[in-house]
Amino acid sequence: MSRFALAGLVVASTVLSTSSVGLAAPKFGPGSLLGLWQSFYGSPVAQQGVNTGFGNSTSGDLQYANGSELDAAFAHTENGFTGLLFTGNLEANFNKIVIFIDDGSGLGQNTISGGADLPGQYNGFTFDAGFNATHYIIANGGGSPYGWYVNAGNLVSGDGGYVGGNDGQSGGVLSGGGYANSLIYSAIDNSNVAGVSGDPSAALVDPLTALSGMEFVIDLSWLNLSGNTFRVTAFINGGGHDYASNQFLGSLPAFSGNLGGDGNGTYTGNLAGINLANIAGDQFFTVTVPAPGVLAMLGVAGLARSRRRSH
């Protein structure tokens, strides 16, 4: 049995024990985000293949991590919302988790040319062949008191801006923004001290031992999908949007160092020198969104199981 499976059993047993004393079972959707793996997320859709070059967090604090890593990605769809959980940490120095989404329409940008309030440091950044970014989400945290802040945009329509912020929890509800505020929710649990190590030159430490991190729930109406899948490129970037780490999902090759601004770890003031098509493997992963009819059938099956257990 994998260490992830064992960790999942620990989470499941915790859920069972809390249920036995009258506490709520795991919930999914707006207002219920914890930044924590829960049983509905199931197995990862992507996992890390290289130890972090942005520091391995050892603080164990819910908010103030002292390193950044992306260990694995999980996805779950329910009631018109898709959740994305990225286990790991984001250092509380305003480092960024950057998420680019390809909605499958073919209308996005393979090489970033700007728009939708996306910072200019991303202009010239090139994805794998066939990946055309249509949407982005960028989040970061820090300060005292701690604040968690989310920006997003649609690179096809050109709309974008500040979605809002919270204290990292608050069920993921974001306030204070003007763009997509009721369409995107986010929370962070920065307490992870498991997952990959801080030595990219060393053998990989199991990323699937990490169970907390950055969580986003997206109203699918914002994506306006034409099919039942979308693709995601996610990575950790520096506080100035201008120095990419080696923490990508899909993963960079084993033992890769930070990409910096030129793909080789050099600071250039922007990301124009990074071309993921020149790097082995796919630096993206695919999320499948079940058709409404399938979701309804799953709901009926779950209700039937619940009724059987209650008799």
Mean pLDDT, each 10-residue run in order, the chain (311 residues)? 40 37 72 97 98 98 98 97 98 98 96 98 98 98 98 98 98 96 96 98 98 98 93 98 98 98 98 98 97 51 40 39
Please give the helix or strand (H or E) that residue 310 lies within, else none.
helix 292-310
Q: What are phi and psi of 155, to 5 degrees?
A: -75, -10
The radius of gyration of the chain from alpha carbons, rounded to an integer in Å, stands at 19
Cα angle 209-215-221, degrees, rounded to a multiple of 5: 140
Measured CA to CA, the distance from residue 291 to residue 227 in angstroms comes to 9
What is the number of domains present in the chain? 1
- pLDDT at res. 25: 72
- pLDDT at res. 292: 67
**pLDDT tens per residue across span 191-230:** 999 999 999 999 999 999 999 999 999 999 999 998 999 9
Q: What is the pTM of this model?
A: 0.89
- pLDDT at res. 293: 54
- pLDDT at res. 24: 58
Buried b (16+ CB within 10 A) or exposed e, 231-254: bbbbbbbbeebbbbbbbbbbbbee
Q: 41 lies in which domain range?
A: 3-310
Measured CA to CA, the distance from residue 188 to residue 165 in angstroms comes to 11
**pLDDT tens per residue across span 137-166:** 999 999 999 999 999 999 999 999 999 999
Task: Give the three-state DSSP class for 63.
Answer: coil
